[in-house]
Amino acid sequence: MGTYLPPWATAGGRVPGEDEDVVTMAVAAGLAATAPRALATPTITRVELISRDLPLLEGGNGAALLAGLGLPSDIEIREQIGGAPAALEAVAGAAPGTLVIAADVKGGAGAAAAVIGTAGVALSVTGRVSRSLPVTTRDAHGAVSDYSDPRLLRERGVSLSLEQVGVTGKVAVVAGLGGRDAAQLSVGDPPVVPTLGASAALFAVAALAERRDGGRVLAVEQATVALAELSSGSVAVCRDEPAPRPPLELRPAREAEIAISLAAYERAFDAKLRLRAARCLTCGTLSYPHRLRCLGCGSEGPVDTVPLPRDAEVYTLATIHVPVPGLATPYTVVLVELGDSGVRLLGRLTGVPAGSVAIGDRGSMVFRRVAVRTGVPDYGYAFRPGQPDVATLGDPQELAS
């Protein structure tokens, strides 16, 4: 399993950075789950993404998600709108080789992922009930209406649902409820779950797995509940959870945004999102992005592509304070050298305040949302300083196979 939390936090929990959304957080959690030291499963053959905060992109977000994960574009992928019960059932019902990811923006931002195999621990759904008590609704434009009656939800929602599903006694951990409500339903010292949405179910399972504790897992979303039994056993959990810090104060640009060129977007998609360079078959020189003529030998012959390292060192940088259409300021752009490849890449700084890195600082390239142009999320890579706790090198599909 793998987890990801953004570094930014308020009193209400973690919040996404200006360059983060469900897709970028799902990629971070998925890469953590497929890190080499955690991987002990068959080749990934299917991906499931569960969230209530999916970017409303016609055609779906599958292509960007698979590219960020380094998985082939022909892998089956399903995007499901749902909360903690849906995510819990997805993990319990998935076949071996499935990568299940759940991510949230609201109610505590974060993502968690599980690679389903034939060893480790077993999770089985023992009860479920779907009831309608729409205390929170969202319209087609994303505007949320909150009935805001915790007592109604507790007494006419969760309590009645638990009676219908036959829950007697307390459970090991509750996903989807916060604070006192979750504690009242839990036995002993339940693990802290940092989110309330779909990812809460996977955070809860990961916490129990780290303790090598089995037990009942209860997932709640409004008046809908799902109950599952987790066996005891050993599961590797890789956490990408930087220490929390206050959100940055950024100035949004007021100028009109720059329109997207879909031709350029499509042409650069694979190289930019998969971070793969062209390699000249004549002399072996790498070029990123791909060039018609090799910079090493001048050949215009065929090339192949190779994955670039994700570890990076700052070669030079600049911090921008002048407003730029579509980008909030201030922000820092860095030119970094990728591992020992000799390839240099221009990207933005992420995860830390602008201007907080220097030439020679090391870190890694992480999947982020570069911009939103004409309503289209444009993804790429940004530089995060420091050494992360999870592996960020290589291609997860190559590692899995």
Mention every residue, 6+ apart, whose C-beta is less than 8 A from residue 316: 334, 335, 359
Would you kindly state where each structural domain of the chain is located, as residue ranges?
268-400
- pLDDT number for residue 2: 95
Torsion of CA 383, 385, 389, 393, to 10 degrees: 40
CB 365 within 8 A of CB 336: yes
- pLDDT number for residue 42: 57
> Strands 144-146, 136-138: parallel, antiparallel or unpaired by DSSP?
antiparallel
What are the tens digits of pLDDT across the range 17-63? Answer: 999 999 999 999 999 998 855 455 458 999 999 999 988 787 889 99
Q: What is the DSSP letter of 245?
A: B
The count of C-alpha atoms lying within 13 angstroms of the C-alpha of 205, restricted to the half-sphere facing its C-beta, is 38
What are the tens digits of pLDDT across the range 226-278? Answer: 999 999 888 889 999 999 999 998 888 776 777 888 898 888 898 899 999 99
- pLDDT number for residue 36: 58
- pLDDT number for residue 182: 87
- pLDDT number for residue 41: 47
- pLDDT number for residue 323: 82
- pLDDT number for residue 380: 94
Per-residue pLDDT in tens (0 to 9) along the chain, 401 residues: 999 999 999 988 999 999 999 999 999 999 999 885 545 545 899 999 999 998 878 788 999 999 999 999 999 999 999 999 999 999 999 999 999 999 999 889 999 999 998 888 999 999 999 988 887 787 777 777 877 777 777 778 788 888 888 888 889 999 998 888 888 888 888 899 999 999 999 999 999 998 888 899 999 998 899 999 999 888 889 999 999 999 998 888 776 777 888 898 888 898 899 999 999 999 999 999 888 899 899 999 999 999 999 999 999 999 999 888 878 899 999 999 999 999 999 999 999 999 999 999 999 999 999 988 888 899 999 999 996 444 444 444 443 33
E strands, 177-267, in order = 215-221, 224-230, 238-240
